Amino acid sequence: MNEKFDSIWDAIEDSPLQAETMKLRSSLMIALKKHIAAEGLTQVEAARLLGVTQPRISDLMRGKINLFAIDGLVDMVVRAGLRIEMSIGKAA
């Protein structure tokens, strides 16, 4: 059986709720990683800017998604001076 999924998260998570949560977390983490790289920030500088510790930035840069909650990521995105735009649609 070749089942098709909209995203990797839909394929590996146990429920639609978990898949959507992981999609949000990964999108926020990717945006933060891109911002840190684009600004040429060191991990120490990024930690200072985002109000977290350097080891926390290391976790972010290594993609340790299970260590981050959505609210903490939103806080870091706002501290980075970024704006979040969201789109909500009907589930397939």
**Predicted pLDDT of residue 88:** 85
Q: Write down the mean pLDDT value for the chain.
A: 89
pLDDT at position 86 is: 87
What's the pTM? 0.83
Note whether 49 and 24 are within 8 A (CB).
no
**Under a CB-based contact definition with an 8 Å cutoff, are residues 22 and 11 in contact?**
no
- What average pLDDT does the segment 19-36 reach? 93
Structure tokens at 57: 């930035």
Among 1-5, 52-56, 87-91, the range with the most confident prediction by mean pLDDT is 52-56
Mean pLDDT of 38-60: 98
pLDDT greater than 80 at residue 61? yes
CATH fold label, 14-79: 434 Repressor (Amino-terminal Domain) (1.10.260)
Residue 6 has pLDDT above 70, yes or no: no
pLDDT for the residue numbered 15 = 75
13: closest CA among 73, 76, 66? Answer: 66
Q: Cβ atoms within 10 A of the Cβ of 50, count?
A: 23
